[in-house]
Amino acid sequence: MRVTLFDYGAGNLHSLAKALATAPGVEVRVQEDPIRALDTDLLVLPGVGAFGAAAARLEPGRDKMRQALEDGLPCLGICLGMQLMFDTSDEGGGWGLGFFRGQVTKLRSRRVPHIGWNSVEEDTALENAKLGSVYYAHSFVCRAEEPRVVVGWTTHEEDRFPAAVRRGNVLGVQFHPEKSSAAGVRFVQAFLEEVRK
């Protein structure tokens, strides 16, 4: 199974690639070209980075990538990767994929960024990997226009926002599974197994 990490200049590729490679029969590769990244069994949009810069790297292949997801290409978006699945962000200019309708806005809380362990409420993202507490590191959150795509929630201070969104084979998570210990690795493996089937 080929898993491709789209490298838009974000950090944290090494630990994410390591978490993905724990599943048997998985070959992980990194690709900087958004169109060539689509030649894969599973596309992964990693976390860490700024929306504007990542959107600029995505722009040459944005329409093709959006169409590939609409056509059923499995995709996992993590933190910034999830935010890039939405329309736009207050963090920076440029367009996301628009696969999920909505805007990315700054956290409405006193303490920003939100860094540390927090729970996932109403988790229905994956049947075989229920989440308890996972690791977050972010200042911006997704505001989905269609509540039915939200498959997990979390709350930081008074701000409640999606921890996970899903439509078909496309799953986005605001938290970092690769930094969420054994539970996070199980989550990644469960998604890989589902995609393989």
Active site residues: 79, 176, 178
**HEC states along 102-120?**
EEEEECCCCCCCEEEEEEC
Q: Which of helix, strand or coil describes residue 174? A: coil
Indicate the SS3 state at residue 156: strand
Prior bond of 60 cis (ω within 30°): no
Cα separation, 93 vs 51, whole angstroms: 7
Q: CA-CA distances (angstroms) from residue 26 to 97, 123, 154, 188, 193?
A: 26, 26, 30, 12, 10
- In which residue are the tokens 């929630």 written? 153
Tokens of 132: 């308890």
